[in-house]
Amino acid sequence: NAGVTQTPKFRVLKTGQSMTLLCAQDMNHEYMYWYRQDPGMGLRLIHYSVGEGTTAKGEVPDGYNVSRLKKQNFLLGLESAAPSQTSVYFCALRGGRPPYGYTFGSGTRLTVV
């Protein structure tokens, strides 16, 4: 999706390993979000940020950390990966006026073995 780039697109981790997912935007939006998608559960909010230097917990934050050191980048970290974190991760941006438009990245498919 134009303006939102997620890296990597695929990754396989062993239990206990760490990794960082990157969401990069060129749309100059303040609000950024990390969701995870699991079969039959829709998308659930992990963490979000309302601007550079700010982060907040979402619905399922345990086991994840985030940072927003620069406005254009929102990083999602897994310090010690667990099989329960096997999922597809989506980054989203919010912009415009209410009701806001959300732009989603193409996702990162993560498998923890």
Q: Check binding of 40 to another protein (CB under 8 A).
A: yes
Query: CA 48 from chain center: how many Å?
Result: 8
Q: Check binding of 33 to another protein (CB under 8 A).
A: yes
| CB of residue 108 to another protein, shortest distance in Å | 11
Q: Check binding of 101 to another protein (CB under 8 A).
A: yes
Among 56, 80, 83, 111, binds another protein (CB under 8 A): 56
Rounded to the nearest 5 degrees, what angle is found at the Cα of 11, between the Cα atoms of 5 and 12?
A: 165
Q: 70, exposed or middle or buried, with CB in 10 Å at 0-12, 13-18, 19+? A: exposed
Among 17, 20, 31, 95, binds another protein (CB under 8 A): 31
